[in-house]
Amino acid sequence: MPNSDLLPSLLSKRYENQLALEASIMELSGWIEQRDSAEVADNIRGALHTLDENEEFIELSLAVLIAPD
């Protein structure tokens, strides 16, 4: 398998990891908020907003890279 064939799989796995990290961090922010640290939880959610903003671009890019010719 040529190295160029690995790129779509690599990017797909990287994206899956990003989603898993985002989900786990959201769980932690809820736990932090329950312990009266709403400001910290808000800061976490604000940082995660960047992931949400980039998600559509990543999905579209992967679709283009993975699509058969």
pLDDT score, position 11: 81
Instruction: Determine, yes or no, domain membership for 54.
Output: yes
Number of domains in the chain: 1
Q: What is the pLDDT of residues 42-66, one digit of tens each?
A: 998 998 888 888 888 887 887 787 7
Range of the domain at 27: 3-63
Instruction: Determine, yes or no, domain membership for 36.
Output: yes
Rounded distance between C-alpha atoms, residue 47 and residue 44, angstroms: 5
Instruction: Determine, yes or no, domain membership for 68.
Output: no
Q: 31: exposed, middle or buried (C-beta count within 10 Å: 0-12, 13-18, 19+)?
A: exposed
Instruction: Determine, yes or no, domain membership for 32.
Output: yes
Instruction: Determine, yes or no, domain membership for 26.
Output: yes
Rounded distance between C-alpha atoms, residue 26 and residue 68, angstroms: 35
Q: What is the pLDDT of residues 2-50, one digit of tens each?
A: 666 787 788 888 888 988 999 999 999 999 999 989 899 899 899 888 8
pLDDT score, position 64: 82
Rounded distance between C-alpha atoms, residue 40 and residue 33, angstroms: 7
Instruction: Determine, yes or no, domain membership for 15.
Output: yes
Three-state DSSP class for residue 5 = helix
